[in-house]
Amino acid sequence: MADLERTFVAVKPDGVQRGLVGEVISRFERRGLKLVGLKLLNVTPALAEKHYGEHKGKPFYEGLVSFITSGPVVAMVWEGRNAISLCRNVIGATNPASAAPGTIRGDLAVEIGRNLVHGSDGPESAVREVSIFFHDGELVQGWKRETDTWICE
Ligand code: IDP
Ligand code: MG
């Protein structure tokens, strides 16, 4: 599949605390994406800095790091045709106040600083973020899903 992509998605500490892990996973599953990596972990300050380095210096950066390190997150890798933009669409706009109904943020969140889910924003950040959170051996490569031909031609 030429446009097969992998993307990094995480349920942030607010989603874990609110018991929304299953709800979030289920939205990506139902959309037709394939799960290839999954773990629960605490994000250390060093990991947070690596992941959110592009935002260093912005006014919300310190709060963002303290939030993302405040409790466990669920880190995932989803695979599929156009998985990166597809996942961003499932997640919705950064600010839940303007996220469309039907998206995770539009249905389940209220504020930008508690927007439940992270999703890579492009091919380079996807590769970078997957490698920050997962070793190659932790990803389940090329597993055959019986519904694949019912999701993509
Ligand atoms: P994204 O998560 O939709 O890709 P980014 O602009 O990459 O959005 O910002 C990363 C995260 O930083 C957001 O998801 C949000 O949690 C937080 N953030 C971004 N802008 C603000 C802000 O203006 N105030 C508070 N938090 C923010
Ligand atoms: Mg981003």
4-21 burial, b at 16+ Cβ within 10 Å, e below that, comes to: ebbbbbbbbbbbbeeebb
Q: Look at ligand 1, atom 19, and give the residue with the nearest C-alpha.
A: 112
Q: Which distant-in-sequence residues (6+ apart) come within 8 Å of 136 by Cβ?
A: none
Task: State the Cα torsion 133-74-97-99 to the nearest 10°.
Answer: 70
Q: What is the pLDDT of residues 3-27, one digit of tens each?
A: 899 999 999 999 999 999 999 999 9
| Mean pLDDT computed over 43-72 | 98
| Cα(118)–Cα(77) distance, integer angstroms | 11
Which pLDDT band holds residue 1 (cuts at 50, 70, 90)? low
Distance from the alpha carbon of residue 110 to the mean position of ligand 2, in angstroms: 18
| Cα(108)–Cα(96) distance, integer angstroms | 8
Q: In ligand 1, which atom is closest to the CA atom of 67?
A: 16
Please, which residues have CB less than 5 A from ligand 2, an ion?
121
Provide the whole-model pTM. Answer: 0.97
Q: Look at ligand 1, atom 23, and give the residue with the nearest C-alpha.
A: 60
Q: What is the pLDDT of residues 81-122, one digit of tens each?
A: 999 999 999 999 999 999 999 999 999 999 999 999 999 999
**Residue length of the chain:** 153
Ligand 1, CB cutoff 6 Å, lining residues? 55, 60, 64, 94, 112-113, 115, 118, 121
For the chain, what is the mean pLDDT? 97
Which pLDDT band holds residue 78 (cuts at 50, 70, 90)? very high
Residue closest to 37 by CA, chosen among 3, 13, 8, 68:
8
Burial of 56 per CB tally in 10 Å (0-12, 13-18, 19+) = exposed
51 carries an active-site annotation? no
pLDDT value at position 8?
A: 98
